[in-house]
């Protein structure tokens, strides 16, 4: 039976992206819409969305939003893409900025956004069965619905799912946010339900007040119950353990498709990947100034350059890695120490290593298609998107066994031929280099085994099909919907 679901998030493709959350918002609602549900998404109307997509939007109207001391207008817009209706909340002062997050008034900005979304439901007279909130920017929605709209049964009939994409970013603010920006009583701080240290946490509110809590892989859902990965939220997560679901992400297999990707030098499928990947490899090497040869193992890295991503495991072993018979291409930006290390790498290994400082979506596609190995040694990784794309393009992921990386990458077994990549467990650079060396050895010495691995990777189901069915099952359970 068709039902209605509203996703609320701080970003989402195809309109705006800074991280993996946007990929999920761009693909999961579309997958659910294909299954017959009325799926809609609410996002802030950022400056970049206005610059790139304003002509595609339809203006719906303006209302005054009251939230604590906030008394500001919100103008709503909509657009329909791939069967999903997107709503946008416009406020020039809050959202028309160069960046999305990282401002001193982030708490106020997203308190306004969440109240504006809840008011929008009444304004457009569309009452979803489910609101699926995502990450800290929307964590207060279940509590706000309960506390501020309690006299309207239509709001109280809505069920809430809260999805944690990265537990490390929690939306922690001073307790004065309660009366000034959220319009909430200190009761919610005093009873401990949203208290975090001496302030409040938007994310904790989502965990405590949502009907169900999800995160983006089964392994990560268990890791965050521990002190090691729990980011000081492990106690409350263990309290909600019975309502915690780990559902692995997928990717948009229409957008990420080597058979149709217009950014590639040559398209290919699993049936003709040998010639396809060769053409893309040679084109990538020529584009980046590497030695042009199909006979070398080309390693790729597309990542934020942060400690979480295991970048310093790589930088402390650059000489050992580049001492192997490999070429190395790095795309990304982040912490200055990491950027400086990769700049040194490029200067020291001309023709063998290259570093593109920044992010280039088109180049990312060509790296996924042209490389042989994709390096992703994250210290923790809720799900990860890069390893899924790499497998789709026949580039073998080499990952640390954590979170979604453990759930999606099966390490190669040279005796049975099973596996779709390579992995190591310990979070140290020695084990990483050992595994890289082993993978490179397979590239050169075990041609048939390598071909089998590539086929396994390309045949791995990285779509949303299975995961969307699990979300659907969750929604059915929550709303007691008939099958």
pLDDT per position as a tens digit, 248-274: 999 999 999 999 999 999 999 999 999
SS (H, E, C) 68-80: CCEEEEEEEEEEE
In a domain, 442, yes or no: yes
Q: Residue 124 corresponds to which tokens in the numbers above?
A: 């457009």
pLDDT band at 3 (very low <50, low <70, confident <90, very high): confident
Q: Mark whether 353 and 233 lie in a shared domain.
A: no
Q: What is the mean pLDDT of the chain?
A: 96
In contact, 161 and 478? CB cutoff 8 Å = yes
Q: Tens of pLDDT along 199-228?
A: 999 999 999 999 999 999 999 999 999 999
In a domain, 259, yes or no: no
Closest CA to 325 of 448, 414, 437: 437
In a domain, 258, yes or no: no
Q: Mark whether 475 and 452 lie in a shared domain.
A: no
In a domain, 67, yes or no: yes
pTM of the model: 0.95
Q: What's the pLDDT score for residue 80?
A: 98
Q: Mark whether 75 and 25 lie in a shared domain.
A: yes
Q: Tens of pLDDT along 345-385?
A: 999 999 999 999 998 999 999 999 999 999 999 999 999 99
CA angle 59, 63, 68 (to 5 degrees): 140
pLDDT band at 1 (very low <50, low <70, confident <90, very high): low
Cα-flanking dihedrals φ and ψ of residue 139, to 5°?
A: -65, -25
Span 184-193, mean pLDDT? 96
Span 297-304, mean pLDDT? 97
Q: Tens of pLDDT along 37-52?
A: 999 999 999 999 999 9
Q: What's the pLDDT score for residue 482?
A: 47
What is the C-alpha to C-alpha distance for residues 73 and 62, in angstroms, rounded to an integer? 7
CATH number at residue 328: 3.40.50.2000
In a domain, 257, yes or no: no
In a domain, 264, yes or no: no
Q: Mark whether 475 and 447 lie in a shared domain.
A: no
pLDDT band at 445 (very low <50, low <70, confident <90, very high): very high
Q: Mark whether 381 and 309 lie in a shared domain.
A: yes
Which range of residues forms the domain containing residue 390? 273-459
Q: Tens of pLDDT along 77-121?
A: 999 999 999 999 999 999 999 999 999 999 999 999 999 999 999
Q: Mark whether 304 and 421 lie in a shared domain.
A: yes
pLDDT band at 483 (very low <50, low <70, confident <90, very high): very low
In a domain, 114, yes or no: yes
Cα-flanking dihedrals φ and ψ of residue 466, to 5°?
A: -70, -45
Q: Mark whether 209 and 325 lie in a shared domain.
A: no
Task: Provide the CA 136 distance to its chain's centre, in angstroms.
Answer: 14
Q: Tens of pLDDT along 386-429?
A: 999 999 999 999 999 999 999 999 999 999 999 999 999 999 99
In a domain, 244, yes or no: yes
Q: Mark whether 400 and 300 lie in a shared domain.
A: yes
Task: Check pLDDT > 90 for residue 247.
Answer: yes
Span 273-300, mean pLDDT? 97
Q: Mark whether 41 and 108 lie in a shared domain.
A: yes
Domains of the chain: total: 2
Q: Mark whether 245 and 287 lie in a shared domain.
A: no
Q: What's the pLDDT score for residue 192?
A: 95
CA angle 94, 99, 100 (to 5 degrees): 60
Span 434-446, mean pLDDT? 98
Cα-flanking dihedrals φ and ψ of residue 255, to 5°?
A: -70, -45
> Scanning the structure block, which residue is given the tokens 């109207």?
61
Q: Mark whether 441 and 338 lie in a shared domain.
A: yes
Q: Tens of pLDDT along 454-478?
A: 999 999 999 999 999 999 999 999 9
Q: What's the pLDDT score for residue 19?
A: 87
Q: Mark whether 343 and 309 lie in a shared domain.
A: yes
Q: Residue 286 corresponds to which tokens in the numbers above?
A: 């020529």
Burial of 410 (0-12, 13-18, 19+ CB in 10 A): middle
């Amino acid at each position: 039976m068709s039902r209605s679901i509203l996703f609320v998030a701080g970003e989402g493709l195809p309109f705006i992206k800074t991280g993996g959350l946007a990929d999920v918002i761009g693909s999961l609602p579309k997958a659910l819409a294909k299954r017959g549900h009325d799926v809609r998404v609410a996002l802030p109307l950022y400056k970049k969305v206005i610059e790139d997509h304003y002509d595609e939007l339809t203006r719906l109207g303006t209302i005054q939003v009251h939230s604590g001391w906030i008394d500001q207008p919100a103008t709503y817009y909509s657009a329909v893409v791939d069967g999903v209706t997107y709503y946008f909340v416009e406020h020039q002062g809050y959202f028309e900025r160069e960046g999305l997050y990282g401002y001193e008034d982030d708490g106020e900005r997203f308190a306004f956004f969440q109240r504006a979304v809840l008011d929008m439901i009444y304004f457009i007279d569309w009452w979803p069965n489910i609101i699926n909130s995502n990450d800290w920017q929307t964590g207060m929605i279940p509590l706000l619905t309960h506390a501020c709209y309690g006299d309207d049964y239509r709001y109280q009939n809505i069920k809430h799912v809260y999805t944690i994409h990265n537990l490390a970013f929690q939306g922690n603010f001073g307790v004065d946010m309660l009366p000034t920006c959220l319009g909430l009583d200190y009761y919610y701080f005093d009873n401990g339900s949203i208290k975090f240290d001496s302030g409040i946490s938007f994310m904790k509110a989502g965990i405590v007040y949502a009907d169900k809590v999800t995160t983006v892989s089964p392994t990560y859902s268990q890791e965050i119950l521990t002190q090691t990965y729990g980011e000081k939220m492990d106690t409350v997560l263990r309290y909600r353990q019975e309502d915690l679901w780990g559902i692995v992400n997928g990717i948009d297999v229409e957008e990420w498709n080597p058979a149709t990707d217009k950014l590639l030098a040559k398209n290919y499928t699993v049936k003709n990947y040998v010639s396809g990947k060769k053409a893309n490899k040679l084109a990538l090497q020529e584009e980046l100034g590497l030695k042009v040869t199909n006979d070398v193992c080309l390693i790729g890295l597309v990542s934020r350059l942060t400690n979480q991503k295991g970048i310093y495991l790589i930088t402390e072993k650059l000489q050992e890695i580049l001492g192997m018979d490999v070429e190395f291409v790095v795309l990304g930006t982040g912490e200055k120490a990491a950027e400086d290390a990769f700049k040194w790498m490029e200067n020291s290994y001309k023709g063998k290593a290259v570093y593109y400082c920044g992010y280039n979506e088109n180049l990312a596609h060509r790296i996924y298609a042209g490389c042989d190995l994709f390096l992703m040694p994250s210290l923790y990784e809720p799900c990860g998107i890069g390893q899924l794309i790499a497998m789709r393009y026949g580039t073998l992921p080499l990952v640390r066994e954590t979170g979604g990386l453990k759930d999606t990458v099966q390490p190669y077994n040279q005796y049975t031929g099973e596996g779709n990549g390579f992995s190591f467990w310990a979070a140290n650079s020695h084990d990483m280099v050992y595994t890289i060396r082993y993978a490179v050895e397979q590239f050169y010495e075990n041609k048939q085994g390598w071909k089998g691995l590539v086929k396994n990777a390309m045949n791995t189901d990285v779509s949303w099909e299975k995961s969307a069915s699990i979300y659907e099952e969750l929604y059915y359970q929550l709303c007691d919907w008939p099958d």
